[in-house]
Amino acid sequence: MKSKDDVTIAQKKVSWDGLRRLLSLLRYVLPRKYAFFGGLFALSISSLTTLAFPMLLGDLLNQANPEASLQRINTIALVLMGIFAINAVFAYLRIYWFELVTQNMLASLRQTTYNHIIRLPMSFFSQHRVGELNSRISADISVLQETFTFTLAQFIRQIITIIGGVILLSFISVKLTMFMLAFVPIVAVGARFFGKHIRKVSKNTQGQVAQSNIIVEETLQGIANVKAFANESFEDTRYKFSTDQVINIAIKGAKIRAMFISLIVFSLFATIVGVIWYGVYLVNKGEGMAAGDLFKFILYTVFIGASISGLADLYSQVQKAVGATESLMGLLDESPEFKDVTESGCEMEIQGDVEFEGLGFSYPSRPETEVLHDISFRVEKGQKIALVGVSGAGKTTLTALLFRFYDPQKGRILFDGIPSDEIHPVCLRKQMAIVPQEVILFGGSITENIAYGKPDASSDEIKKAAERANAIEFIESFPEDFDTLVGERGVQLSGGQRQRIAIARAILRDPKILILDEATSALDNVSEGLVQTALNSLMKNRTSIIIAHRLSTIRDADKIVVLDQGRVVETGTHEELILKESGIYFKLRQTLEMKENHLG
């Protein structure tokens, strides 16, 4: 069991680690370092000119006597006006330069975070929801934007004001300065006590905001289901509960910050009253302090007190930023799936031979459940292999392993005799393509969606791919032709049209290995005929692995591999397997024939 001291040390380490991580984000400033240092210089000048104001104002007040020189009075007034003008110019430069630096820095941070997220392994995405990740890029970085645009500049300004003010105060009266500084430890102790709680609550608030964003993301992505089940009220209640939790946590944080700031305000006014009392006492004792000097001291005390008070609120903002940074950096600490490889680094060209040797696999989220058991079979170059079996037999898992979305815990996959873990995933995937059952299109044009298979493809290549996919007719029927927007997730197109766009995408890629994951299972007979013709064109002269429930797709396969509960139980051609009347394929065939006859 940890002792109380150990826990305290651990909390302190976490706090300093969070602050270190926040400061580590300054590396994103380096491309704009001259603007950043220019902003710091402008901030320093504007802060120092502000500090000159009480001194000159006190000198001006000291001239309030018959013996004072009018020229001296005018000079001080003109100097004050000049200082205000300089302050205004440098305040403008400070705001402009800091905004320039911050916007570029945050854009770079967003790009880095997004770049990192899309390179994380599939095991990460199986444990994190889209809304949560989106919140990291939007909500957390928005907190950092406020920190680096406003809080950092103000924090530096307050530090300059406090240090410069104390130095100038000591020139006026050392006794009064020591008296005023006696109040500082109260603020320091309060900052340490309240800051720990503020940081914890701020981090919890960010986490709850991420949860509410997840609900929005999921609801909008599945809006058709929401409406089909008339669950608008249910989703509204779910989101209301989540956002109410945000309010509760935020209010708790507001109470802590309010108590902290109340302490600071009380200390500020107590300090001012104490300084005035002690200053009047010293004047009455004949310490030689002029009325103007006492005014200077009081004004500097107000400046310093206001800066300390401002630091309290800025400190709570910094704690909030530390909480956001810890969440964001926790994401960036996740190990990417692989190191990037250049196009020239993918010189190996596979031919299409694939062999599975004793595969055993469990998903990272369910390590205790083995999904595949001792899977062994071979696919030769140019062959069409059909994977059949009931739902949950392991067919889709096999395709995930082929793409190296996951690596098996036992056994291995070989491509042309080379183990898959010796081939870079990018090099492997660039020579493979998949036409899934549920086609997800991006919200751009038809051209952009087809070209996703080969981003540098010409218009002619895209058109030829559409022709081979039997998609050209419906594409050209649209008023905007290939420039037609498909809508989010392709909602503007029918299921058969989306499938043919996916096939055109795969044709354009010209893969050595093609995966068809039940590509025609959800289509009507007319659409299936068009899609199947396109698929036959696509499969010609290339290794094809087909997951299918339709006999029309399975019959033409060179070999059928029957899976049951993660094991290979039968292999052979259609003609060979239907002779085994006690076999699983024979029973599956009867079920499929009944379904197809019923649909027909």
Q: In what order do the strands lie in the sheet with 372-379?
A: 372-379, 354-361, 410-415, 418-419
Nearest in space to 554 (alpha carbons), one of 579, 530, 572: 572
Question: Regarding the domain delimited by 21-332, which CATH topology (the fold level of the hierarchy) does it fall under?
Answer: ABC transporter transmembrane region fold (1.20.1560)
Q: Cβ neighbours of residue 567 under 8 Å, at least 6 residues apart?
A: 372, 373, 374, 375, 394
pLDDT tens figures, 216-258: 777 776 776 677 667 778 778 888 887 787 777 777 777 777 7
Residue 311 has pLDDT above 60, yes or no: yes
164 three-class SS: helix
Q: What is the pLDDT of residue 536?
A: 77
User: How far apart (Å, rounded) are the C-alpha atoms in residues 40 and 570?
Assistant: 73
Q: What is the pLDDT of residue 414?
A: 92
Mean pLDDT of 431-445: 82
CB atoms within 10 A of CB 480: 10
Q: Where are the domains of the chain?
A: 21-332, 341-431+547-600
Q: What is the pLDDT of residue 4?
A: 39
User: How far apart (Å, rounded) are the C-alpha atoms in residues 251 and 247?
Assistant: 6
Would you say 543 and 513 are in contact if contact means Cβ atoms under 8 Å apart?
Answer: yes
pLDDT tens figures, 148-167: 767 777 778 788 888 887 88
Q: Residue 353 gets which letter from DSSP?
A: -
Q: From its phi and psi, is residue 25 left (phi > 0), alpha (psi between -120 and 50) or beta?
A: alpha
Q: What is the pLDDT of residue 287?
A: 64
Mean pLDDT of 544-558: 79
* Residue scoring higher pLDDT (540 or 225): 540
User: How far apart (Å, rounded) are the C-alpha atoms in residues 511 and 220?
Assistant: 34
Would you say 39 and 153 are in contact if contact means Cβ atoms under 8 Å apart?
Answer: yes
Confidence of residue 35 (pLDDT cuts 50, 70, 90): confident
Q: What is the pLDDT of residue 415?
A: 92
The per-type count for the chain, helices as H runs and strands as E runs, is 22, 10
Cα 129–chain centre separation = 11
* Residue scoring higher pLDDT (204 or 502): 502
**Position 327: which residue type?**
S
**Burial of 355 (C-beta count, 10 Å sphere; 0-12/13-18/19+):** middle
Residue appearing with tokens 């020579």: 431
Least confident residue range of 10-19, 100-109, 337-346: 10-19
User: How far apart (Å, rounded) are the C-alpha atoms in residues 402 and 232?
Assistant: 40
Nearest in space to 376 (alpha carbons), one of 582, 583, 516, 563: 563
User: How far apart (Å, rounded) are the C-alpha atoms in residues 114 and 438?
Assistant: 25
Cα 585–chain centre separation = 46
pLDDT tens figures, 354-384: 999 999 999 887 888 889 999 999 999 989 8
Q: Residue 128 gets which letter from DSSP?
A: S
Q: What is the pLDDT of residue 354?
A: 92
pLDDT tens figures, 564-593: 888 999 898 888 888 887 788 888 776 666
**Burial of 43 (C-beta count, 10 Å sphere; 0-12/13-18/19+):** buried
User: How far apart (Å, rounded) are the C-alpha atoms in residues 325 and 17?
Assistant: 10
Helix 4-24 vs helix 184-221: crossing angle, to nearest 10? 70
Q: What is the pLDDT of residue 360?
A: 92
458 three-class SS: coil
Q: Residue 388 gets which letter from DSSP?
A: E
Q: What is the pLDDT of residue 105?
A: 81
Distances (CA, A) of 363 to 123, 397, 410: 8, 9, 12
Percentage above 70 pLDDT, the chain = 79
Distances (CA, A) of 234 to 207, 238, 246, 348: 22, 6, 19, 53
Cα 264–chain centre separation = 36
Q: What CATH number does the domain located at 341-431+547-600 have?
A: 3.40.50.300
Least confident residue range of 306-315, 485-494, 552-561: 306-315
Confidence of residue 2 (pLDDT cuts 50, 70, 90): very low
Q: Which two tokens stand for residue 234?
A: 């249910």
Q: In terms of DSSP bridges, do strands 354-361 and 372-379 run parallel, antiparallel, or are they unpaired?
A: antiparallel
pLDDT tens figures, 251-296: 777 777 777 777 767 776 777 777 778 777 776 776 656 667 777 7
* Residue scoring higher pLDDT (205 or 571): 571
Nearest in space to 516 (alpha carbons), one of 399, 376, 404: 399
User: How far apart (Å, rounded) are the C-alpha atoms in residues 558 and 386?
Assistant: 8
Q: What is the 3-state secondary structure (H, E, C) of 62-83?
A: HCCCCCCCHHHHHHHHHHHHHH
